[in-house]
Structure 1
Amino acid sequence: MTPFDDDKPLLIAEGLTKYYGRQLGCRDASFELYEGEVMAVVGESGSGKSTLLQMLSTQIEPTSGRILYRMRDGGMKNLWEMSEPERRFLLRTDWGYVHQDPQHGLRMGVSAGGNVGERLMAIGQRNYAGIRATAADWLGRVEIPENRIDDTPRTYSGGMRQRLQIARNLVTAPRLIFMDEPTGGLDVSVQARLLDLLRRIVSEMRIAAIIVTHDLAVARLLSNRIMVMKGGEVIEAGLTDQVLDDPHQPYTQLLVSSILPV
Structure 2
Amino acid sequence: MTTSPILSVRALEKRYGTFIGCTDVSFDLWPGEVLAIVGESGSGKTTLLNCISGRLDRSSGQVLYRMRDGRFPDLDDLSEAERRFLMRTDWGFVHQNPADGLRMRVSAGANVGERLMAVGERHYGEIRHTATEWLSRVEIAAERIDDQPVAFSGGMRQRLQIARNLVTRPRLIFMDEPTGGLDVSVQARVLDLLRSLVSELDLAVIIVTHDLAVARLLSQRMIVMKSGRVVESGLTDRVLDDPRHPYTQLLVASIPES
1:61 lines up with 2:64 in the alignment? no
Runs of 4+ in 1 over 6 A off after TM superposition: none
Question: Superposed, which structure 2 residues align to 1:203-214 within 5 Å?
Answer: 203-214=199-210
Structure 2 residue aligned with 1:21: 17
How far, CA to CA, are the matches of 1:142 and 1:21 in structure 2? Answer: 43
Corresponding letter in the other structure for 2:178: P
Aligned partner of 1:77 among 73, 77, 80: 73
1:247 is the counterpart of 2:243: yes
Instruction: Tell me the equivalent position of 2:130.
Output: 134
Note the 1:40-51 alignment, pairs <5 A.
40-51=36-47
Q: Which runs of 5+ in 1 are unaligned?
A: none
The amino acid of 1:164's aligned partner reads: L
Measured in 2, the distance between the counterparts of 1:61 and 1:84 equals 13
Once the 2 structures are TM-superposed, how far is the Cα of residue 93 of structure 1 from its aligned partner? 0.2
Matches within 5 A, 1:95-110: 95-110=91-106
Which SS does the other structure have where 2:163 is aligned?
Answer: helix
Query: TM-score scaled by structure 1?
Result: 0.96
Task: State, as a whole percentage, how many aligned pairs show the same letter.
Answer: 67
1:111 to 107, 111, 134: 107
Q: Deviations over 1:87-134 (max 9, x none)?
A: 111000000000000000000000000000000000000000000000
Distance 1:258 1:50 in 2: 21
Q: Distance in 1 between matches of 2:190 and 2:213?
A: 13
Report the Cα distance in structure 1 between the residues aligned to 2:91 and 2:181, rounded to whole angstroms: 24
Q: Give the structure 2 partner of residue 233 of structure 1.
A: 229
1:25-40 paired onto structure 2 within 5 Å: 25-40=21-36
What TM-score, normalized to structure 2?
0.98
Shift of 1:253: 0.2
Measure how far apart 1:7 and its partner are. 2.0
- 1:149 matched to 2:138? The reply is no
Answering whether residue 179 of structure 2 is matched by residue 183 of structure 1, we say: yes
**Helix, strand or coil: the match of 1:77?**
coil
Query: Are 1:236 and 1:252, in contact at CA under 8 Å, matched by a contact in 2?
Result: yes
Alignment-mate amino acid for residue 253 of structure 1: Q
Aligned alpha-carbon RMSD (Å): 1.1
Partner of 1:12: 8
Residue 162 of structure 2 is matched in structure 1 by 166
